């Protein structure tokens, strides 16, 4: 079988070094090629891919689906299509949009599903949303979680990267992500303020990007900087982030919804357990990564809609229980490192094989 992976075709020099991969060189840029496909242009890009005669094509989101539909018009034998829905566009924080935007995205995503033999969602919540577009249940929808980045995994497997060595080595309570209202960062700020973390030898750490002129983000930054021992960083590279993770006792991630939440898996690889939003604090979760790192087993659930935020007393109580956190960290690390790029690739291969065995 030949594989046509829309997302990687254009990285031909890299792919050519991988055993078992046939790399197709495409002139020009990816964005230009996709524009021409969408315009149904039989350009040099489309003709080159048509000559490759792929057996399987994997497209990403409804935007990739439209380009792929135009491209397959050039093919004599139509490839089997897997629609990888990395983002459900008609959802916002897990809730369906309303109005014209919702109608447009729902129509576009239903169209993408219709063009595919198999659909793949990022998490169970997204899978449910996709199935809502298919009342007759004609489509096969699966869940495929994103893998841990290779650079993070390699750093996390270095000797001592996830060591606790007692509570003294782990003193930071961390938020890492975009500093914005939808991430509910003020819940982190208020909990840290009220916990008086210095009383238990801890301090807050805030890592993330803040948009220029964003008053919400600036308030978060200013309040954290006033706390004893606080550490504030902008964007960090993987090696820089690894040094912060190595000193963290706990990741506080109060966003009410995350399609995945990669930073939670990345922190887990370094032995940092996380508190995530869970409406009933024990089982139901609106953070996709908890399908990999279950609440109670590898993460801690907390209802961040309850009375607005986590109290300082509640945060301090969790942060003081080092034995529990260390036990969670070991399980979270094990699960995070197991779902790496190789495991993810094997699962994609399994899905492709299923397409052929079903015929």
Which CATH number does the domain housing residue 85 bear?
Answer: 3.40.50
State pTM to two decimals: 0.85
Residues 167 and 315 in one domain: yes
Q: Is residue 169 helix, strand or coil?
A: helix
Residues 110 and 127 in one domain: yes
- What is the distance between the alpha carbons of residues 145 and 154, in angstroms, rounded to a whole number? 19
Residues 106 and 166 in one domain: no
The residue segments making up the domain with residue 239 are 150-338
- What is the distance between the alpha carbons of residues 184 and 99, in angstroms, rounded to a whole number? 25
Instruction: Give residue 37's pLDDT.
Output: 58
Residues 319 and 182 in one domain: yes
Instruction: Give residue 71's pLDDT.
Output: 76
Residues 44 and 101 in one domain: yes
Residues 170 and 66 in one domain: no
Residues 142 and 163 in one domain: no
Averaged over successive runs of 10 residues, the pLDDT of the chain (359 residues) comes to 40 50 60 60 65 84 82 82 89 81 92 92 89 83 92 93 79 97 94 94 96 93 97 95 95 92 97 90 72 93 78 94 95 97 93 83
Residues 48 and 155 in one domain: no
For 116-140, give the secondary structure using H, E and C.
Answer: CCEEEECCHHHHHHHHHCCCCCCCC
Instruction: Give residue 212's pLDDT.
Output: 86
Number of domains in the chain: 2
Residues 210 and 300 in one domain: yes
Residues 142 and 174 in one domain: no
Instruction: Give residue 308's pLDDT.
Output: 55
Copy the structure tokens of residue 188. 């982190």
C-beta of residue 282 within 8 angstroms of C-beta of residue 315: no
Strands 91-92 and 95-96: what pairing?
A: antiparallel
- According to DSSP, the residues that pair with 132 across neighbouring strands are none
Residues 30 and 84 in one domain: yes
CATH of the domain at 325: 3.40.50.2000
Cα-based distances in Å from 145 to 153, 232, 287: 16, 30, 12
C-beta of residue 172 within 8 angstroms of C-beta of residue 231: yes
Instruction: Give residue 8's pLDDT.
Output: 38
C-beta of residue 305 within 8 angstroms of C-beta of residue 256: yes
Q: In what order do the strands lie in the sheet with 141-143?
A: 3-5, 56-60, 80-85, 118-121, 141-143
Helices (H) and strands (E) in the chain, counts: 14, 13
Instruction: Give residue 349's pLDDT.
Output: 92
Instruction: Give residue 4's pLDDT.
Output: 44
Instruction: Give residue 17's pLDDT.
Output: 52
Residues 261 and 327 in one domain: yes
């Amino acid at each position: 079988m030949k594989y046509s992976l829309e997302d990687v075709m254009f990285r031909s020099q890299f792919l050519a070094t991988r055993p078992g991969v046939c790399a197709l060189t495409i002139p020009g840029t990816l964005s230009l090629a996709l524009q021409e496909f969408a315009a149904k242009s039989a350009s040099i890009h489309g003709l080159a891919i048509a000559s490759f005669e792929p057996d399987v094509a994997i497209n990403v989101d409804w935007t990739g689906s439209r380009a792929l539909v135009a491209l397959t018009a050039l093919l004599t034998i139509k490839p089997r299509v897997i629609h990888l829905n990395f983002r459900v566009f008609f959802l916002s924080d897990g809730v369906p949009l309303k109005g014209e935007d919702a109608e447009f995205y729902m129509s576009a995503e239903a169209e993408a599903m219709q063009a595919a033999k198999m659909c793949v969602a990022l998490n169970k919540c997204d899978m449910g949303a996709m199935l809502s577009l298919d009342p007759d249940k004609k489509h096969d929808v699966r869940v495929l979680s994103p893998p841990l980045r290779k650079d993070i995994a390699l750093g996390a497997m270095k000797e001592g990267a996830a060591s606790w060595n007692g509570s003294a080595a782990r003193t930071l309570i961390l938020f890492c992500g975009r500093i914005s209202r939808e991430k509910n960062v003020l819940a982190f700020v208020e909990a840290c303020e009220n916990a008086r973390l210095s009383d238990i030898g801890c301090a807050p750490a805030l890592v993330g990007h803040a948009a220029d002129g964003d008053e919400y983000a600036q308030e978060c930054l200013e309040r954290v900087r006033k706390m004893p021992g606080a550490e504030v960083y902008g964007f960090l590279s993987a090696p820089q982030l690894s040094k912060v993770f190595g000193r963290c006792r706990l990741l506080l991630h109060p966003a009410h919804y995350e399609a995945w939440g990669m930073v939670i898996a990345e922190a887990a690889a370094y032995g940092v357990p996380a508190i995530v939003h869970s409406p009933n604090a024990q089982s139901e979760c609106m953070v996709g990564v908890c399908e990999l790192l279950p609440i109670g087993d590898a993460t801690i659930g907390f209802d961040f809609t309850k009375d607005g935020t986590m109290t300082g007393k509640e945060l301090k109580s969790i942060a003081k229980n080092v034995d529990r956190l260390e036990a969670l960290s070991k399980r979270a690390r094990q699960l995070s490192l197991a779902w790496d790029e190789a495991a993810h690739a094997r699962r994609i291969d399994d899905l492709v094989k299923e397409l052929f065995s079903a015929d």
